[in-house]
Amino acid sequence: MKTIEDVENLEKIIGQLLAAHSEIAILAKKSPSDTLNTFKLKMINRVIKTSNSVLGGKYKPFEDFEQFEDEDLPSNSDVTMILAQYMKEAERYRSDNVMQEYGSWYYVVDGKVSEIRSGPPSKVGRK
């Protein structure tokens, strides 16, 4: 990450992805094959579009996926699966950009440990 704004943007999409996934997962458990309504799809697409921008090419889960099509409403289970992939990649991005110092974890900004605290990396093969 190059700037503090990059950290803020990542933290924002992580929160949005977690909230959206939690909400849609409840719907998917009740009715996995039901389609998402257009309002929710619009919100999900907004989160995905922002996530694509923040994650960039290296961490974007699917090269050819930009957002869900408005004309072909996806099922609850499809949306849950895609959001889970975005959550994993957002966490991988975060994990690749934190470092432990004096027993606490901090974001690395512009190649240096910042003062912005984080949690430990959660991916396999921790740093």
The model's pLDDT over 2-27, given as tens digits with 9 standing for 90+, comes to 999 999 999 999 999 999 999 999 99
DSSP 8-state code for residue 31: -
d(CA 114, CA 65): 33
- Domain membership of residue 126 (yes or no) is no
Tell me, what's the pLDDT at 124? 47
Residue 124 lies in a domain: no
Tell me how many domains the chain contains. 1
Which stretches of the chain drop beneath a pLDDT of 50?
124-127
Determine, yes or no, domain membership for 127: no
- What pLDDT does residue 123 have? 64
Provide the Cα torsion 81, 85, 87, 90; round to 10°: -160
Q: What is the pTM of this model?
A: 0.92
**Quick check: is 89 in a domain?**
yes
* C-beta of residue 40 within 8 angstroms of C-beta of residue 19: no
Range of the domain at 85: 4-118
